[in-house]
Amino acid sequence: MSGRAVITVTGPVPEEELGFCQSHEHLFIAKGRSFEENPALWMDDVSKIRQEAARYRRAGGGTLVDAQPVGCGRMCQNLRGISLRSGVHILAATGFHKLRFYPPDHWLFSLSEDALTSLFLHELTHGMYDGCDGAPPGAEDTGIRAGLIKTALDACGLTAGYARLFAAAAAAAVEAGRALMVHIEAGSRPMALLRFLLDRGVPPERIIFCHTDRACADPGVRRDLAAAGIFLELDTIGRFHYHSDQEEADIFLDLLDAGFQRQLLFSLDTTRTRLKCFHPQAVGLDYLLSVFLPLLRSRGVSQEQLALISHHNFVSAFHA
C-alpha cells in the first residue's frame, strides 16, 4: 500500500477504495447565471441525480470529480448527500470558472489576488462555502473540503482578469500541494497558460488540462502539452456534434502510441442534456464503462493501459 489518498466530500479516501474514476463530471449546478448562459447548466433535482449516481455505481463506477468551482452554482451539501447514499466517491472543486458564469458584481471580481489564494486554500483545507454564489467574504464554511482546484480559460486567452485568478489558483495549488485542473477551449492558447503556471512553480504532474481532445485541433499541440509532463483529460466522448467515438479513440491511440499512457485521464463532462435521469435517450454517466471502454478494447488498448487511465493516473493527479 502506497498510502496515497484523495480528499472527497465525505473525507479522505485511500486509493485502494476509489475503483474506476472519471475525472470531470457535473452532478449538480444550482439555477443561476450558468443557466442563463446555457439551460443545460442547471441540475438540482436530488432524486434524479441519485438515480444517475446509482446507475454509475451499478455499471462499476467508483469515483468521480464534480468540476463546478465555488461561486457559480456548486452544491457541495448535495454532493455529500449523494455520495453517502450511492457509495460513489466524489471530489468537489474550489477555484473559478469562465468569467461569463458570474454576474458583474460578483465578489470574485473584488477580492485581491492574496484574498483569492486564501479563499481557495480555506476551501481545500477547512471547508467549502455553500450557496449558488459561494457567499464569501465572511460566510461560514460547510466543513466539507474541496479535493482540487478547478479553473477555466476562455477563448480570449490569458487576459488581465484571468491572469489575476490563475496566479491566485497557482499559489494555492503550490501551497496545498493539490491538483490544478484547467478548462481550455479552442483558441485559448494553452501553451501560454502552461508556461504561466510552470513559472509560478506549479509542478507539471499536478496540472490537468481538460477538453484537450476537442480544444486542440492540432494533435501536435496535445503531444507538446503531454511532453511538458502534465495530465491531458480526454472528455469529448459520446458528443457526436464534435466528433465520433471512433475519432475519439484515434486521439487516445495517438497519445498512447507516443508513450503518454501515464498522463491520460478520461471523463464525460456531463450536463443536464447528457444525463439519462433527465433525458432517457442521453448517453448517461455509465457511458464510458458500458460503451466507450469496450470500444477502446476493440481498438487494441490493453487492460493495463485502461487501468492506468481509469485509476492509477487519477490517483497520481488528485492525491492530497
Which stretch of DSSP H or E encloses residue 93? Answer: strand 93-95
Q: 22 is written with which cell numbers?
A: 472519471
* Shortest reach from residue 24's CB to Zn ion, in Å: 6
Mark the segment that binds Zn ion (CB under 5 A) among 27-35, 37-45, 63-71, 164-172. 63-71
Please say which residue, 269 or 286, places its beta carbon nearer to Zn ion: 269
**Strand ranges (E), 9-71:** 11-14, 20-25, 61-66
Q: 187 is written with which cell numbers?
A: 483558441
Mark the segment that binds Zn ion (CB under 5 A) among 36-44, 59-67, 80-88, 306-314. 59-67
* Shortest reach from residue 26's CB to Zn ion, in Å: 6
Non-local (6+) Cβ contacts of 216 within 8 A are 186, 190, 222, 225
Mark the segment that binds Zn ion (CB under 5 A) among 144-152, 159-167, 168-176, 267-275. 267-275
CB 94 within 8 A of CB 146: yes
* Shortest reach from residue 257's CB to Zn ion, in Å: 27
Task: Establish if 67 lies at the interface with Zn ion (CB under 5 A).
Answer: yes
Please say which residue, 67 or 182, places its beta carbon nearer to Zn ion: 67
Mark the segment that binds Zn ion (CB under 5 A) among 42-50, 62-70, 152-160, 276-284. 62-70
Please say which residue, 67 or 90, places its beta carbon nearer to Zn ion: 67
Task: Establish if 133 lies at the interface with Zn ion (CB under 5 A).
Answer: no
11-14 and 5-8 strand pairing = antiparallel
Please say which residue, 208 or 249, places its beta carbon nearer to Zn ion: 208
- Count of residues that bind Zn ion according to CB under 5 A: 2
Q: Which residues of 163-195 are buried (b: 16+ CB within 10 A; e: fewer)?
A: eebbbbbbbbbbebebbbbbbbbeebebeebbe
Please say which residue, 267 or 313, places its beta carbon nearer to Zn ion: 267
What phi and psi values does residue 103 have, to the nearest 5 degrees? -65, 155
Task: Establish if 269 lies at the interface with Zn ion (CB under 5 A).
Answer: yes
CB 190 within 8 A of CB 225: yes
Summarize as ranges the residues that interact with Zn ion (CB under 5 A): 67, 269
